[in-house]
Chains A and B, each alone.
Chain A
Amino acid sequence: MSQDPSAASGSVPTYRPVGGHAVLVEFGATIDKRIHDQVVKLDAALKAAPFEGFVEAVPAYASILICFDPLVADHRTTEAAIAELLGAEVPQTIGAMREVEVCYDADLAPDLAAVAEASGLSPEDVISAHLSGDYSVFMYGFAPGYAYLAGVPKAIQQPRKPAPIRGIAAGSVLIAGPQCLVSTLTMPTGWWIIGRSPTKILNPASSDRPFLFDVGDAVCFRRISRAEFDARCLA
């Protein structure tokens, strides 16, 4: 992860117009925790004090998209409102800690052996390394509830597969490069499947919390046995 000079100097972000109803606010051009912290901070400030015409914000690695109602606001008023929010003191927001259960049994972890071989480790070492990662939610994307967690330890990082595999079960715990995610729908993936989780990241039945994570939250994985996994899935 290379450093971005704009992050170090704390200079004003770049504002880019997106069509007639949004502004993209860029804090840098790399995947970097310090850049992402600025995204999370502006997101929190917007939530605490939305400007007139604010519609929604979509935080990502190094940027945040701010959508506005073009009948009420425009790019200029939106940029001015954001500039004001950047200057304002916002209460230090600390992401919540979320726990995700994971079972690493071989039939739920079809790529665990391959990751172990490629890393020169035993499968148990891969599991220990995965559990020791310092994860946080950088963004959602690709499909509903797909939360990109950064923090996979270097020792087990693998590039994505050359071609995606279809029909991978929801709940699969996937890694690629420094990223980890728990899938929420049956979908193709080119990432490595090292376990499966019964923890629902996307839970439409929950009216108060349909998505487990907010961008900026910290995440830890907790290993569970097959018996616990089966019991959770039936619950």
Chain B
Amino acid sequence: MPRMSQAILAINFAGPHVAVQDGGRHGLMRYGVPASGPMDRTSFAAANVAVGNPAFQPAIEVSMGGLVLDCISGEVTFAVAGGGFIVEHAGDKRGAWMVATLRAGERLAIRPGHWGSWTYLAFAGHIEAKIWLGSMSTHSLSGLGGGRLAAGQTVTVADPEVRDGRHGPIICPVIARPRSALRVVVGPQDRFFSKETLSNFVSSPFRLSDSYDRMGVRLQGPSLAPSVALDMPSEAIVRGSVQVAGDGVPTILLADHQTTGGYPKIATVVDSDLDGFVQLRPRDHIGFLAVTPQQAIEHIRLRASTMSRYLAAVRDGP
């Protein structure tokens, strides 16, 4: 297999929120630093494993805006996984969930397709980008970490490899499809809401609004206005917190959420339902399903074993 010391990719076009991510910056929430990392960790891991990498090696997260890059020099095997994005490469037009090799002079374009909000571009090699507090994940608010990608920049992949034995499709599993039924554990501030509001929360449909980024997504639906004065001291927030502002509008907090806040949280989405949730698009409907804490644990454990079997199958190759 040919081997060169680096592949250089010139960004021809990048939509908003296109940035380097890795497994996330964990353990620093106590210092105000959210974990960041990929919005859809399932697809991210699939892209990496499909080219033979560890599951959370740095890769590029691509939003609905898309990404077009030109290979200036070198050659490298890549994977695209996540959503129903369209991949145009070397005269071919295919769906995401594929592995191929990008060579000097070729263009790779990733554009939104029929479904999904985020897709991942992983390389058989090492992306050169800045590390901040031990991680290349990009914190969207500050741009710290590996950083956002913009037209005119280049991305260097060190020690690129051509792994043509990995070319072909990647299985897109059910767990990587959009998820509109969200399991939630009610609380920790359910006491701030009336019985009627709590009942509306789990029985009414909501929709994703256009106000959707890496920090969170605001929902449209019945007002969930708290029934008591908002005087709680700020406290920690997790990814998946359903926070309700004073105007009754709920927001589901995501990868780059602020670590603390003073608005009540009516419920918390079970973490393993979030990867599918973020693949929904603005105006898609969702509904909440209350489960007990123990049911949430059981769901997470079942999901983890499904994920590990899936990644093992992808690792074995096409």
Contact = CB atoms under 8 A, between A and B. Distances in A.
B269 interface: yes
Nearest to B292: A17
A127 interface: no
Contact of A71 (B29, B33, B304): B304
Given A61-B233, A70-B301, A75-B297, A20 B270 contact: yes
Contact of B233 (A18, A29, A75): A29
Nearest to A58: B236
Which of B141, B258, B260 has its CB near the most chain A CB atoms (within 10 A)?
A: B260
Nearest to A43: B30
B279 to A, nearest CB: 19
A15 B272 CA distance: 22
B26 A56 contact: yes
Nearest to A14: B188
Contacts of B260: 58, 60, 139-142
Given A63-B236, A204-B132, A144 B188 contact: no
A17 B234 contact: no
Contact of A19 (B27, B31, B269, B294): B269
Which of A30, A57, A144 has its CB near the most chain B CB atoms (within 10 A)?
A: A144
A224 interface: no
B142 A21 contact: no
A19 B238 contact: yes
Interface residues of B, number: 45
Interface in A168-213: 185, 187, 202, 204, 210-211
B256 to A, nearest CB: 11
B187 A70 contact: no
A131 interface: no
Which of B26, B30, B300 has its CB near the most chain A CB atoms (within 10 A)?
A: B30
B32 A19 contact: no
B247 to A, nearest CB: 16
B141 A143 contact: yes
Contact of B142 (A56, A59, A140, A143): A143
Contacts of B293: 17, 20, 74-75
B18 to A, nearest CB: 21
A17 B184 CA distance: 11
B261 interface: yes
Nearest to A146: B32
Interface string B132-159: 1100000101101000000000000000
